Amino acid sequence: MAYKNYPMVSRVIFGRGSFNQLGDILEPMRLNEKAPFIFLVDDVFKGNSWLTSRIPLAYKDEIIYISADEEPKTSQVDELVEQLILSHNDRPSGIIGIGGGTILDLAKAVAIMLTNEGLAKDYQGWDLVKFPAIYHVGIPTISGTGSEVSRTTVLTGPEKKLGINSDFTPFDQVILDPELTKDVPTNQWFYTGMDCFIHCVESLNGTYLNAFSKTYGEKAYELCKEIFLENNLSEKESQDKLMMASWHGGMSIAYSQVGVAHAMSYGLSYLLGTKHGIGNCIVFDHLSEFYPEDVKLFKDMKAKHKIDLPQNICRDLDDNEFNIMIDIALSLEPLWENALGKQWKQKISREKLISLYKKM
Ligand code: NAD
Ligand code: ZN
């Protein structure tokens, strides 16, 4: 097909307190009393009754708390799937992810792997998933990644960090309740928020840009500028707007691609375990030759919110390690093609990437 035919999230609720409707939303989706709903919840909420007391548990439903200290791995998905198969006779009625990009991506991947044979690593790539996932719901508690709306679930596998991109990946239901983001620490708010800003910059400056992506990207870009550079928003307005910016930023890259910052950040993440949001910030800070105006804005935002980024994280790396990062970064061909055009191989060299990484 010349034009891609993208699936979208089929149902979405937006509003402060909308999380209270979770029980009503799930009830009609329960297959039977033995088929549980499995709630994958960021363990930052363990013991937080404000949130957990509102998770509607019945019959054999189960909450599994998961740490977001590390980004999701294919092996972690396989273990969770095995755990669910062993502990329940019936296939779950649904998987509900409550957390940031890490937990949302895990929820999507587990829902896929419950109906598809083999290991999660076998499905990293594009359109390798054969059977529809089980019903899955995404409830973001931090805004920026766009994982709530995207067609991918980014996983680190034994050989690569790559998404399971498929028509079965997007959530069947998303609950956007900005109130859930109220306790996000400032640094993390900035890193994940900047993921959204960088999605917009890379989409709007890419060669894949089209009116579909542009309209979403421009809206999210404007919202980010308002949230991170102006002083006129209340905390609640800021939370509401960042949640919608994340959504629009995600929609913008759905029909285009990200670019240099993401490609290089994947390298950092693969080798050093640097998390996505902060990794993007560390890289983007040094990309003024690719995105001059927006790197300037980024530095203003960083100063305004007194964010200190880690420095010299590549200082002690040897040639072999630089090569690993560069191999990962350059393997993401669509990202480079989007950023630099069809002739991208003539515009970027390994030497250039080493010199950039050495500054980080
Ligand atoms: P995250 O999920 O890793 O969470 C970051 C930190 O914030 C964690 O410590 C978490 O416990 C904490 N946190 C989350 N919600 C909180 C709350 N309400 N209060 C207090 N603390 C809270 O962060 P992220 O930036 O949302 O996600 C990063 C992940 O998203 C990466 O794995 C990345 O690969 C993935 N990602 C996926 C897509 C996609 O389209 N699927 C796009 C971009 C990024
Ligand atoms: Zn991103």
Extents of the domains making up the chain: 11-181, 186-359
For domain 11-181, say whether CATH 3.40.50.1970 is its number: yes
Q: Does residue 278's CB lie within 6 angstroms of at least one atom of ligand 1?
A: no
Cβ 134 vs Cβ 111: under 8 Å = yes
User: How far is Cα 137 from Cα 141, in angstroms, rounded to an integer?
Assistant: 13
Cβ 33 vs Cβ 21: under 8 Å = no
Nearest-atom number in ligand 1 for the CA of 192 is 25
Do 11-181 and 186-359 share a fold?
no
Q: Does residue 101's CB lie within 6 angstroms of at least one atom of ligand 1?
A: yes
User: How far is Cα 91 from Cα 217, in angstroms, rounded to an integer?
Assistant: 38
State whether ipTM is beyond 0.95.
yes
> Considering every ligand atom, which ligand is closest to the CA of 139?
1
Q: Reading across the β-sheet that carries 37-42, which strands appear in turn?
A: 11-14, 173-176, 136-140, 94-99, 37-42, 62-66
How close is the Cα of 323 to the center of ligand 2, in Å? 22
Q: Does residue 356's CB lie within 6 angstroms of at least one atom of ligand 1?
A: no
Per-residue pLDDT of the chain (360 residues; tens, 9 = 90+): 678 888 999 999 999 999 999 999 999 999 999 999 999 999 999 999 999 999 999 999 999 999 999 999 999 999 999 999 999 999 999 999 999 999 999 999 999 999 999 999 999 999 999 999 999 999 999 999 999 999 999 999 988 888 999 999 999 999 999 999 999 999 999 999 999 999 999 999 999 999 999 999 999 999 999 999 999 999 999 999 999 999 999 999 998 999 999 999 999 999 999 999 999 999 999 999 999 999 999 999 999 999 999 999 999 999 999 999 999 999 999 999 999 999 999 999 999 999 999 999
Class of the domain covering 186-359:
mainly alpha
